[in-house]
A and B are shown apart, each in its own frame.
Chain A
Amino acid sequence: MNDAPSNPNPPVKKLALPMILLIVFAMVLSLLIISAVIRWMPSQSSTYAWFTDALYYYIYWISVFFTLLIAGTLVFFLMYYRQTDKAAAAPGKVTHSTALELTWTIIPVFIVLSIFAFGFKGYMNMAVAPSNSYEIVVFASQWSWQFQYPNGYTDSHLHIPADQPVKLIMQSNDVIHSVFIRQFRAKKDVVPGRYNTMWFESSWDDAIYDKDLAVAKKLDESDAKLLERDRATYEQLRANLAAAGTEDTRAKAQAALDAFPHINKEGAFAWSRPDPTTPRTTDFKTPVMTFDLYCTEYCGTSHSQMNRKVFVHRTRAEFDAWLADASDVVKRFPNPADLGRQIWQNQCATCHSIDGKAGTGPSWLNLFGSEREFVQGPSVIADENYIRESILNPQAKIVQGYQGQNMASFQGQLDDKKIHGLVQFIKQLSDGYNPEGWGEYAEGAEADQNNAGDASGATSGGGVGVVE
Chain B
Amino acid sequence: MSVISQPVPGVYGEKPPHGDNYINHSKGIFSWLFTLDHKRIGLMYMVTVLAAFFLGGIFAIALRTMLLFNSGGLAANLGGKSEFVANTYNQMFTLHGAVMVFLFIIPAIPAILGNFVLPLMLGAKDVAFPRLNLGSWYCYMGGAVFFVVVLGTGGLDTGWTFYTPFSTSYAHGAVTAATAGAFILGFSSILTGVNFIATIHMLRPKNMGFFKMPLFLWALYATSIIQILATPVLAITLLLLIAERTLGVGIFDPALGGDPVLYQHFFWFYSHPAVYIMILPGLGVVSEIIASFSRKHIFGYKFIALSSVAIAIFGFVVWGHHMFTSGQSDLLNAMFSLLTMSVAIPSAIKVFNWLATMYRGSIRLDTPMLYAIGFIWLFTIGGLTGLFLGALATDIHFHDTYFIVAHFHYVMVGSTLFAFLGGMYYWWPKMFGKMYDEKLGKIAWLLTFVGFNLTFFIQFVAGSQGMPRRYVDYPPEFAPYHHISTLGSYVLTIGLFLILFNWVQSLVKGRRAPQNPWGSNSLEWHAASPPIHENFKVTPEGVDPYDYRAWKYNPETDGYDYDEKLAKELAPAH
In the assembly, what is the distance between CA of A32 and CA of B242, in Å? 45
Given A142-B170, A191-B260, A304-B472: A90 touches B361 (CB 8 Å cut-off): yes
The distance from the CB of B355 to the nearest CB of chain A, in whole angstroms, is 5
Q: In the complex, A52 Cα to B474 Cα: how many Å?
A: 24
Give Cα A418–Cα B193 distance, bound, in whole angstroms. 60
Whether A118 sits at the interface, judged by CB under 8 Å, is yes
> Does A359 contact B83, Cβ atoms closer than 8 Å?
yes
Q: Is the CB of B473 within 8 A of A305?
A: yes
Contact assessment for A73 and B355 in the assembled complex, using a CB-CB cutoff below 8 Å: yes
Q: Which residues of the partner chain B approach A242 to less than 8 Å between Cβ atoms? A: none
Within 8 A of A (CB), among B424-473: 442, 446, 449-450, 453, 457, 461, 464-466, 468-473
The answer to whether B297 touches A93 (Cβ under 8 A) is: yes
**CB of A94 within 8 Å of the partner chain:** yes
Those of A427-452 within 8 Å (CB) of chain B = none
Query: What per-residue 1/0 map shows which CB atoms of B321-365 lie under 8 Å from chain A?
Result: 000111100100110011001101100110111011011111111
B175 on the interface (CB 8 Å rule)?
no
Chain B residue nearest in CB terms to A112: B341
Q: Which residues of B contact A142 (CB under 8 A)?
A: 170
For residue A37, CB closer than 8 A to chain B, the reply is: no
Please state if A70 and B363 are interface contacts (CB–CB under 8 Å). no
Instruction: Name which of B41-49, B375-383, B523-531 contacts chain A.
Output: B375-383
A298 touches B470 (CB 8 A): yes
Query: Which of B157, B353, B392, B399 is within 8 Å of A123, CB to CB?
Result: B392
Report the separation of the CA atoms of residues A124 and B365 in the bound assembly, to the nearest whole angstrom.
49
Q: Bound state CA distance, A90 and B303, in angstroms?
A: 22
CB of B337 within 8 A of CB of A120, answer yes
Which of A18-26, A220-228, A370-378, A458-466 forms contacts with chain B? Answer: A18-26
Q: Return chain A residues, CB-CB under 8 Å to B466.
A: 42, 180, 182, 292, 294
Q: Are A21 and B356 in touch, CB under 8 angstroms?
A: no
Give the Cβ gap from B545 to chain A, nearest Cβ, in Å: 12
Q: Which residue of A lies closest to B342 (CB)?
A: A112
Contacts A2-B555, A191-B327, A300-B170; A81 near B361 (Cβ below 8 A): yes
Assess the B165–A90 pair: CB atoms within 8 A: no
Judged by a CB distance under 8 angstroms, whether B169 is at the interface is yes
Tell me whether B345 and A88 are in contact (CB under 8 A).
no
**B76 contacts chain A at the CB level, 8 A cutoff:** no
Question: Which chain B residues (378-413) contact chain A, with CB distance < 8 Å?
Answer: 380-381, 384-385, 387-388, 390-397, 399-401
Contact indicator A95/B298 (Cβ below 8 Å): yes
Q: A41-B464, A187-B325 are in contact. Are A124 and B330 (CB under 8 A)?
A: yes
Residues of A within 8 A of B471 (CB): 303-304
Stretch in A129-137, A171-179, A245-253 touching the partner: A171-179
Q: Is B508 an interface residue (CB 8 A)?
A: no
For A42, list chain B residues within 8 Å (CB): 464-466
Interface centre among A85, A88, A193 (most CB of B within 10 A): A193
One digit per residue, 1 when the CB lies within 8 angstroms of any chain B CB and 0 when it does not, for chain A 352-389 equals: 00000001100000000000000000000000000000
Within 8 Å of chain A (Cβ to Cβ): is B129?
no
Chain B residues with CB under 8 A of A295? 468
Interface of B is mostly: helix
Q: With the chains together, A96 CA to B301 CA distance in Å? A: 7
Complex interface residues of chain B between 460 and 499 (CB less than 8 A to chain A): 461, 464-466, 468-475
Does A402 lie at the interface of the complex (its beta carbon under 8 Å from any beta carbon of B)? no
A92 touches B396 (CB 8 A): no
* Whole-angstrom CA separation of A185 from B392 in the bound complex: 12
Q: Determine whether B90 belongs to the interface, using a CB cutoff of 8 Å to chain A.
A: yes
Name which residue of chain A comes closest to B464, CB basis. Answer: A40
Indicate whether A393 reaches chain B with its CB closer than 8 angstroms.
Answer: no
Contact status A92-B361, CB under 8 Å: yes
**Contact with A83, one of B163, B300, B362 (Cβ below 8 angstroms):** B362
User: B296: CB under 8 A from chain A?
Assistant: yes
Is the beta-carbon distance between A92 and B360 smaller than 8 angstroms? yes
In the bound complex, residues from chain A placing their C-beta under 8 Å from that of B362 are 81, 83, 85, 88-91
| Residues from 47 to 104 in A contacting B, C-beta threshold 8 Å | 48, 51-52, 55-56, 59-60, 62-63, 66-67, 70-71, 73-74, 77-78, 81-97, 100-101, 104
Let me know if A189 and B327 touch, CB within 8 A.
Answer: yes
CB nearest to B298 among chain A residues: A95
Q: How far is the CA of A77 from the CA of B299 in the complex (A)?
A: 15
CB <8 Å contact, A70 and B396: no
A399: chain B residues at CB < 8 Å are none
Check A178/B325 contact, CB under 8 A, given A1-B1, A31-B457, A52-B396.
Answer: yes
What's the Cα separation between A301 and B471 when bound, in Å?
10
- Chain A residues whose C-beta falls within 8 Å of the C-beta of B159 in the assembled complex: 298
Q: Which B residue sits closest to A92, measured CB to CB?
A: B360
Which one of B385, B449, B474 contacts A63 once the chains associate, using CB atoms below 8 Å? Answer: B385
The answer to the question of B294 belonging to the interface, with a C-beta cut-off of 8 Å to chain A, is: yes
A17 at interface, CB cutoff 8 A: yes
B327, A71: Cβ atoms under 8 Å? no
CB within 8 Å of B: which of A172-207? 174-176, 178, 180, 182, 185-189, 191-194, 196
Answer whether A96 and B373 are a contact pair too, CB < 8 Å, given A83-B362, A127-B330, A299-B166. Answer: no
Q: How far is the CA of A121 from the CA of B297 in the complex (A)?
A: 44
Per-residue B-contact encoding for A106-143, CB less than 8 Å = 1, 0 else: 00110011011011111111110000000000000010
Residue of A whose beta carbon sits closest to that of B263:
A176
Q: Which residue of A lies closest to B340 (CB)?
A: A116
| A89 lies within 8 A of B353 (CB) | no
| Contact yes or no, A74 B259, CB < 8 A | no
A-B contacts, 14 listed (Cβ < 8 Å) = A17-B442, A55-B391, A59-B391, A66-B380, A81-B360, A90-B360, A90-B548, A122-B392, A175-B170, A182-B397, A186-B396, A301-B83, A303-B86, A304-B71
A-B residue pairs, 8 tightest by C-beta: A193-B254, A92-B360, A122-B393, A119-B391, A182-B466, A123-B392, A83-B362, A90-B296
